[in-house]
Amino acid sequence: MRSCRFATATATACAVLAAATFAVAAHGGASRDASAGVPRPKIVVRKIPFGPKRRAETATYAQRHYGTHTWRLVHPRVIVEHYTGSDTFSAAFATFAADTPDAELGELPGVCAHFVIDRDGTIYQLVRLDTMCRHTVGLNWTAFGIEHVGTSSRQILANRAQLSASLSLTLWLMSRYDVHLRNVIGHNESLTSPYHRERYRPWRCQTHGDWRRAEMQIYRTALAGLARRYGHAVGSQPRRVTRRCP
């Protein structure tokens, strides 16, 4: 792409940067946060049930895995990007709404995410932002979870509407909660986060394959580009660190 200013960028990265530019225009009509220059994107609230039973299960989970008996998400410092591995928002919603033991680890509460971004760019919010959601082992105590409907990160990077919505949402959360760029990570990067903590030894090296470092570097480059357009400082990419796990 001739207009791409990044000589070392791949074609994919250039397309993503173009999408970041598009994100500014696409969400130009969104409400502006009085405390920052980053606007709040349009968000459709579609809550999953999160009553006393699920809150109690979450507090028990937090006690076991983090040593804090609470269902509340306090001072979130990390944003974790995921993809659903399925093709529709309704399938993801049904999975997160069902408060049943997860298929992989067999523990309650059921898994969830704060947001799901559909393929057409619609941003759905599923739980309140002060609520801990179970989406990433080791990081739920301090992380927002953003799911993307799809089966690969490359697929999402290539979807302009979905990517633009994702960048806009992530940047708005970063500005509102003062989350640094290095703490916007893919699920697959969870084990190298300085915020990772897990008291239950068998889970200390547990992670998933969604959004690996290579794709997240592209995503974060686009995010930094979007932040510059709003004059919002986000810091640098995460440093490569030695994995503590095999």
Q: Footprint of Zn ion on this chain (CB under 5 A)?
A: 82, 187, 208, 210
CB of 123 to Zn ion, least distance (A): 17
Peptide bond into 52 cis (omega under 30): no
CB of 144 to Zn ion, least distance (A): 13
**Residue 17 or 173: which CB sits closer to Zn ion?**
173
By beta-carbon proximity to Zn ion, the closer residue of 198 and 210 is 210
Measured from the Cβ of residue 137, the count of other Cβ atoms closer than 10 Å reads: 21
**DSSP output for 47-99:** PPP--HHHHHHHHHHHHHHHS----B--S--EEEEEE-SBS-HHHHHHHHHS-
Q: In a 3-state reduction of DSSP, which class is residue 240?
A: coil
Minimum distance from residue 113 beta carbon to Zn ion (Å)? 8
Q: Provide the minimum distance between the beta carbon of 145 and Zn ion in the complex, in angstroms, as a whole number.
A: 8
Alpha carbon distance 134, 145 (integer Å): 8
Burial per residue of 97-122, b for 16 or more beta-carbon CB atoms within 10 angstroms, e otherwise? bebeeeeeeebbbbbbbbbbbbbebb
**Which of 209, 171, 3 is CA-nearest to residue 163?**
171
Nearer to Zn ion, 57 or 210 (CB): 210
Shortest Å distance, C-beta 1 to Zn ion: 30
Under 8 Å between Cβ of 223 and 173 = no
Nearer to Zn ion, 50 or 83 (CB): 83
- The residue among 219 and 227 lying less far from Zn ion, judged by its C-beta, is 219
